[in-house]
A = this chain, B = another copy of it.
């Protein structure tokens, strides 16, 4: 019994089963339309030959790819990888594969050159964009597959969006902290040209206004980059402030954890001397010390909704809606009323 040098093709199955290739193809895609006897014969022949479909050939004929591309700023970041998990779940149910492209390392080359070839119907059947810093022009070129934006979004790109209600989240944070009695609240923000940063800021300012606090000046916020390190680095500047804030709202949990770490090293007790809260509710926020008060958003669900929306678009749905997902305040132990002498 000699091992065949190449995998069997549909032609081989047809020969073994004594039918035409068309019949084999039909048996596989729609068993109902072939007779009982041929179906059996074909199935036996498939088993006997060990045949597996060549997807590339099918895709060429059917003008599709069978895969969806996710454009993510950084796969290594759990924030995004959790969204990917949600996307992955939905895609697999439909038999589609997930292609992941990390846009971080694109930086040193023009995005069009690197990303351009991927934004093509012969590369994927649809695209989920998780990176708000990309050029909208990339996605309006002819031949670009249907696009859905998730989490972050690109100004000026007319495509459906799925996002957490970041404005409401910022407002909840302000409401929580002012409700505890804080009046000097510092905002550690994300990077500047970022839609998440902007909406969380907007909601935060709204919340302060609702509590009757004056709009803070430019010195009442410090810019971070969503990394833990930038929270830590903000601490010396926080400690130098006069008067010192009694509460700190960070645009994500990582930075909040960095801030708490820095404050502890400096001997400041959280929340007794300074309250700190975050955003996102990453898993670690429940386990750090003190457990972090934060705004919860559902990232797996966000990924799922994005994938569902994309699937709809791929089937011709032309509705450019924005899906807004609820957020929720998670009250833990890193926030408390301000100290009496503040």
Chain A 42-70 interface residues, beta-carbon cutoff 8 Å to B: 50, 52-57, 59-60, 65, 67
A222 close to B (CB within 8 Å): no
A-side interface size class: 35 or more
A138 close to B (CB within 8 Å): no
Contact A120:B55 (CB < 8 A) given known A261-B287, A287-B232: yes
A85 close to B (CB within 8 Å): yes
Give the number of times this chain occurs in the complex, counting copies.
Answer: 2
When the two chains form their complex, are residues B105 and A92 in contact, meaning their CB atoms are under 8 A apart?
A: yes
When the two chains form their complex, are residues B74 and A85 in contact, meaning their CB atoms are under 8 A apart?
A: yes
Chain A 130-157 interface residues, beta-carbon cutoff 8 Å to B: 141-143
The CA of A54 and the CA of B143, in the complex, are separated in Å by 10
The CA of A29 and the CA of B279, in the complex, are separated in Å by 49
Partner of A283, one of B60, B114, B228, B288: B228
> Chain B nearest CB: distance from A258 CB in Å?
6
A91-103: contact bitstring with B at CB < 8 Å (1 yes, 0 no)?
0100001111110
- Which residues of A come within 8 Å of B, CB atoms? 3, 7, 50, 52-57, 59-60, 65, 67, 74-78, 81-82, 84-85, 88-89, 92, 97-102, 105, 114, 117-118, 120-123, 141-143, 228, 232, 257-258, 260-261, 264, 283-284, 287-289, 291, 300
